[in-house]
Chain A
């Protein structure tokens, strides 16, 4: 005799695998990116074209480092999810679909972590 309910047995077995939480997570990241993008542009736009010392000095402000790390963490995840949807919509062969999804994850994680690494290194090591 099993104590699992009928509902628990079929949970996640539909073609979508999971429920609305994935959809909701995508929207949550989008909404979070509205203020984060504004902060990112306000901080980074004036720094483009400036010399090395000025850029390094601006990262000594913890607000700058933390909000930029937040921006890159949320945006790389948003980029990964967005690119995956585009790949799933337009790539119809199963083999290249799987390859592209894996490559997409590799690409986004690599650059997302590279951004966080660079910001931390500038902040702590100058």
Chain B
């Protein structure tokens, strides 16, 4: 491409020129949670590797994960996983060609946000980590 075409046109992310909307914010959050889940991925695989190595490594990782800091990161990862899953399902629905009506898109967005917190509370309760 020549310099003339490249010019000064805006390139993504278009956050500076795009008015925030329900659908755009809830959609970009799928990306943000997806990227941050790489951290959760590292965390859980470190835990698995420690378990496969020996009991001393495992106790070390386990004490980090169950410290207040570890629990905050874990709960954050659970929320990210719930949000990313629900938001991903919404994108799959869009990919099939449904739910583009503004009202439905908005409602789906709220369902994803509220659902992610409900699911997080359920998973944290189910894990028994805070009991």
A residues neighboring B (CB under 8 Å): 27, 30-31, 33-34, 37, 41-42, 44-46, 48-49, 51-52, 55-56, 72, 75-76, 79, 82-83, 86, 89-90, 92, 107, 111, 114-115, 117-119, 121-122, 125
For chain B, residues 33 to 89, give those with C-beta under 8 angstroms from any C-beta of chain A: 34-35, 37-38, 41-42, 44-45, 47-49, 51-52, 55, 58-59, 62, 65-66, 74, 78, 81, 85, 88-89
A78 CA to B55 CA, complexed, in Å = 31
For the complex, is B18 an interface residue (Cβ under 8 Å from A)? no
In chain A, what residue has the closest Cβ to B92?
A30
Q: Are A46 and B92 in contact (CB under 8 A)?
A: no
The interface size bin for chain B is 35 or more
Q: List 17 A-B contacts (CB under 8 A).
A: A30-B92, A37-B81, A41-B78, A42-B126, A45-B129, A46-B128, A48-B65, A48-B129, A49-B127, A52-B51, A52-B62, A90-B13, A115-B44, A117-B49, A118-B49, A118-B52, A125-B52
* Contacting residue for B41 out of A52, A79, A86, CB 8 A: A79
For the complex, is B31 an interface residue (Cβ under 8 Å from A)? yes
Q: Are A79 and B37 in contact (CB under 8 A)?
A: yes
Known contacts A34-B89, A79-B37, A83-B35; is-contact A49 B48 (Cβ 8 Å): no
In chain B, what residue has the closest Cβ to A59?
B51
A55 CA to B66 CA, complexed, in Å = 15
For the complex, is B12 an interface residue (Cβ under 8 Å from A)? yes
In chain A, what residue has the closest Cβ to B49?
A118
Closest beta carbon of chain A to B66's beta carbon, Å: 5
Q: Are B85 and A37 in contact (CB under 8 A)?
A: yes
Q: Which residues of B contact A34 (CB under 8 A)?
A: 85, 89
